[in-house]
Amino acid sequence: MAAAERAPEQGDTWFVRIGWGWGDLAALLIWTAAVAWLFRQAVTLRGALFYFDITEINFPYRSFFAEELRAGRFSRWCPWLYCGMPLYSESQAGYLHPLKYLLYPWMETWKAFNFDTVLSIWLTGLGTYGWLRRHVRPAAALTGASLFGLGGFTWAHLVHTSMINALASVPLVIWGLEWSWERGRWRGVVLAALALACEVFAGHLQDVLLTSGIVVIYGLYRFATEPDGQGRWRDLGMAGVLVCLGVLLSAVQWIPSKELLDRSPRAGGLNYKDLTYASWSPELIPTIVVREAYGTRARDTDWMNGFYPYHEMDTYLGLMGLALALIGAGGPGLRDRWTGFWVLLAAIGGVLMLGKYTCLFDLADKVPVVGSSREPVRFHLWVSLAVAALAAVGVERLARPGLVRLRCALILVAAVIAASIAVLLYIYAPVWTEPERWTAPYHLARYRWLGQELRA
């Protein structure tokens, strides 16, 4: 293994660059095995992904597109839907996304759809691992990759295939930008712009806005923290060029999509109620501790679904993941510029995902483009990426010689658990104050399952 050297883009000698070796191979094999095991029915083709938006949108779109590709046609108009629909402009079929041509022309659509979804998740972790390896060693990078690739955001949007496709590009965008900042060359910016364009080609433009937001904030942060000189303007310029180039490269897709949007009910933007629908409520704090604290659709126990789109409220990263992130933010992280940015991004994303429970969205419906972007909980993408980076630093700290204080992490875990118990007692109060409301065997069976989940 190559000797360690200081990462030149960091101003703190605590971060070191370690060459790749057998540890990386082991980490990537572990990641591959974990994804293959979790999705073993899809990977072995013993089951098909077919539920909710997959059933209604994603599978039918891709089925039509795949049949046209196998017939040697690139049909942008689908006659099956709504007496005819410009499917290319709708974008969620992913006409220009690379995985569509790798998989769909050569196998049955349901098989290709399985591999399309699983490969996107695997690539998300792979890209996150490669990006984090610039800063930490294999075990730490694997921790961050696992949190981002298999965290709550992924499970919340597993039915949104275009979002899963786009997720794989997010770490690649940050990786390319940081590489260009370090080397002073534009090659990384160009590659990052291609990754950003692939998010557009995946078919979910909101992900592009969220990723571009990270790039813009990162560029401004570098500008504000860089010493006076040409470097600070170069860093800001690279971030701006990345976004502009990505938008330009993907214009072949988003311009037709914009034309279709202008003819849709969202043409004038969303009103406040629609814009803030799916704001993350503080009463969901127990789901940070136990993912299924309020049930799950898989068991027909998602009682909160009438108040939120409950499947999208999954922000679970595990108490261990949050504790590691806090450890990473402390110690040397307090003085490190790279770590400081992820603390800032986690804070911004955490506030924005609250949506209507803050005053920040009061005038958001007046903002062009952003005013057509709904569901504030999706800012959890920022939180997930930040927690992944900080948790990687936390593992790195624990793996190195020296004392690491765990007091703050333990206080955080205790506080979240205490708050969760209080909220659960309040939310579930009708179970014992009005027990006669739910006496059917069907209800009792689901209560029994939920009790087992909470005890576990």
Please give the helix or strand (H or E) that residue 5 lies within, else none.
strand 5-6
Residue 301 is predicted with a pLDDT of: 66
The neighbour count for residue 418, using CB atoms within 10 Å, is 10
pTM score:
0.91
Amino acid present at 180: S
Residue 298 is predicted with a pLDDT of: 66
Q: Could you give the CA distance from residue 310 to residue 318 in angstroms, rounded to a whole number?
A: 18
In angstroms, how far is the first alpha carbon of the chain from the final one?
42
Confidence of residue 269 (pLDDT cuts 50, 70, 90): low
Phi, psi dihedral angles at 136 (to 5 degrees): -140, 175
The region of weakest confidence among 199-203, 417-421, 428-432 is 428-432
pLDDT in tens, 46-67: 999 888 888 888 899 999 999 9
Place of tokens 């539920």: 51
Instruction: Write the DSSP assignment of 374-430 as a string of letters.
Output: --GGGGHHHHHHHHHHHHHHHHHHHHSSS----HHHHHHHHHHHHHHHHHHHHHTHH
* Residue 387 scores a pLDDT above 90: yes
Q: Could you give the CA distance from residue 74 to residue 271 in angstroms, rounded to a whole number?
A: 37
Residue 2 is predicted with a pLDDT of: 36
* Residue 248 scores a pLDDT above 90: yes
Domain ranges of the chain: 1-156, 169-263
Residues in the chain: 456
How confident is the model over 380-387, as a mean pLDDT?
Answer: 97
How confident is the model over 437-453, as a mean pLDDT?
Answer: 76
Q: Are 221 and 341 in contact (CB under 8 A)?
A: yes
Residue 3 is predicted with a pLDDT of: 34
Residue 226 is predicted with a pLDDT of: 85
Confidence of residue 6 (pLDDT cuts 50, 70, 90): very low
Q: Could you give the CA distance from residue 10 to residue 136 in angstroms, rounded to a whole number?
A: 12
Residue 64 is predicted with a pLDDT of: 92
Q: Could you give the CA distance from residue 374 to residue 401 in angstroms, rounded to a whole number?
A: 46
Instruction: Write the DSSP assignment of 108-137 as a string of letters.
Output: -HHHHHHHHHHHHHHHHHHHHHHHHTTTS-
**What is the overall mean pLDDT for the chain?**
88
CA-wise closest residue to 92 among 124, 112, 119, 62: 62
pLDDT in tens, 355-379: 989 988 887 777 766 666 788 999 9
